[in-house]
Amino acid sequence: AMSILPLKELLYGSGDAGAHIKADPGVHSLMGEVCKRINIAEHRAGAPQIPLYGPCDIEVHKGFDNRLYVLDFARLFPPTKPVRGKPGSHLFYLFRPEFCKKYSVPLSSDAYSRTVSITRAMEMNSNRFFHFRNG
């Protein structure tokens, strides 16, 4: 069996791997509340650079029933440093929620991601992780 969601309109994130990104202000505020609780940083993604919480390929839709539906949030938690010889490892080696919540500074979901054009997200996580490992 497969569920059919009553999706009406994409309000936040991207349905095409980051090529087009939407950031409804109301949804951005809600995403900010959630992400601050789990210590996920706001970052900029796309062209033009749009402020987002969570991965740029997350999708928040408004349904025909006026509810919000959040899809594709598997990459909500930030990636660890990519592993040599394992292409795409930043997509599946992710920090655990407990680590993110206790870490001293917010981390970006889109660190090491190609879907984010030149951004500080990669620098933020790699520098913060370096500090954690060596500080």
Q: What is the tens place of the pLDDT at every residue in 7-18?
A: 999 999 999 988
pLDDT tens for residues 54-106? Answer: 999 999 999 999 999 999 999 999 999 889 999 989 889 999 999 999 999 99
Q: How far is CA 3 from CA 6, 30, 83, 96, in A?
A: 10, 25, 36, 28
| DSSP sequence for 70-131 | EE--TT-SPB-PPPTT-TTGGGT-B--HHHHHHSSS-B-TTTT-TTS-S-SHHHHHHHHHHH
Confidence of residue 115 (pLDDT cuts 50, 70, 90): low
Q: How many angstroms separate the first and last alpha carbons of the chain?
A: 50
Q: How far is CA 25 from CA 29, 100, 111, 128, in A?
A: 6, 25, 23, 28
Its pTM stands at: 0.82
Assign 68 to helix, strand or coil.
strand
Percentage of residues of the chain with pLDDT beyond 90: 65
Query: Which residues fall within 8 angstroms of residue 16, CB to CB, at 6 or more apart?
Result: none
